[in-house]
Amino acid sequence: MNAQLLDFVVHGDHDGKLVALEEHEDIPFDVRRVYYIWGNSPDVCRGKHAHDKLEQIIICVSGSCDFILDDGNERKTVHLDTPSRGLYIKHDIWREFTNFSEDCVLVVLASEHYKESDYTRNYHDFLRKCTNEK
Ligand code: TYD
């Protein structure tokens, strides 16, 4: 599947912790956009789309949530609950995210500016694309 967890180097000790992310060192693409997501009700389901080109790293800097990832063949759930880890999702992965803790804050690093034409928002269209690309 075009998705993996990245473990970041954590600096610091009992005084506190710090993670530093450098383009092309820790982040494998040019970072063209950063956005963050918070204030979600626990049972809301966000995402429900795939991207043609966009790559993203999603970091749960506070709280926790679940990412459901689907490549048209396989579906898996990734639980995010630490700022020391990033979920790297490349193109052509359907994603849904849910099960938000009250304090959940997600920071997303993205390889492209926001472009609606890069989105596939209908699951059947996504499956059709997966089949055509085989
Ligand atoms: P959307 O992609 O639907 O959110 P999610 O997949 O997290 O549920 O985006 C929600 C709204 O925010 C939508 O109106 C588009 C807008 N938006 C931007 O303007 N820029 C961005 O970088 C993103 C991610 C969304």
- What's the pLDDT at 13? 81
- With the most atoms of ligand 1 within 8 angstroms of its CB, the residue from 35, 38, 68 to mutate is 35
Q: Is the pLDDT of residue 134 over 80?
A: no
Domain ranges for the chain:
3-9+23-132
Domain 3-9+23-132: top CATH class: mainly beta
The label of the residue with tokens 């970091």 reads 59
Distance CA 7, CA 14 (A): 20
Residues near ligand 1 with C-beta < 6 Å?
33, 35, 37, 46-47, 49, 114
Quick: pLDDT tens for 10-24: 999 888 999 999 999
Q: Is 44 helix (H, G, I), strand (E, B) or coil?
A: coil
Contact, 39 vs 63, CB < 8 A? no
pLDDT band at 106 (very low <50, low <70, confident <90, very high): very high
User: How would you classify the pairing of strands 94-98 and 46-51?
Assistant: antiparallel
pTM strictly above 0.85: yes
Give residue 37 CA to ligand 1 midpoint distance, Å.
10
